Structure 1
């Protein structure tokens, strides 16, 4: 009888772990009132160690209207920043003037200074729930 109870308990624990492991997290990035309805939005999710170098996750979507949504699934809980630019000339990079001022529309999470290079502390956010929605304007 003890073995039967142990076996049942083990099966319950294993099925619970499977259920918990299958739950997905979702980070939803919404764009409203996009002024220029052409080009491609390049959306990157960054961690502090790779900030503005190589995104942890990235997606690109063609702009076809004034509102768009990008979803990232299975993101681990942690601290991240989102950086977005709108590639208007399809060259896959953010065009800038010689002094570093962007020539194409861009936005970030948090509160970056639009007249200076972004700082991690200004743009980071905590992803600590299964579903988080962030609204950005570009």
Structure 2
């Protein structure tokens, strides 16, 4: 099966709102339906959180539907942290930038990796 290289721009508006908190890492993962909303993705990246715009590059992605998750791991513990009531403490985002109460559905955040170059903008 043909594989693709594509980039995703993450517009980390968190850094403009909280410029003093550019600590930690940006964790990103490309998912399929089986790995969606789980801690591990098919292809994972870890980038230092020091810029307002981050470009993620996913290599060797098969041509199919995927969502991307992005997490600002401020305390560098490699996972999303939650309040006692289950609300996330750290900022996160998903492809297609859904505005939801609760976890997104695969259908809302998926996009298609095809033969053409692909660029997505994801906002925190």
Q: Which has the higher helix share?
A: 1
The runs of 4+ residues in structure 1 deviating greater than 4 Å are none
Stretches of structure 1 lacking an aligned partner (at least 5 in a row)? 1-20
Matching of residues 109-124 of structure 1 within 5 Å? 109-124=95-110
Distance 2:66 2:13 in 1: 23
Partner of 1:95: 81
Q: Which has the higher strand share?
A: 2
CA deviation after TM superposition for structure 1 residue 33, in Å: 4.4
Partner of 1:134: 120
My pick for the range that moved more, 105-114 or 118-127, is 105-114
Distance 1:104 1:98 in 2: 13
Tell me the TM-score normalised to structure 1 length. 0.76
Instruction: Find the structure with the greater CA-based Rg.
Output: 1
**Matched positions, count:** 116
Q: Per the alignment, in what secondary structure is the counterpart of residue 35 of structure 1?
A: helix
Distance 1:75 1:63 in 2: 24
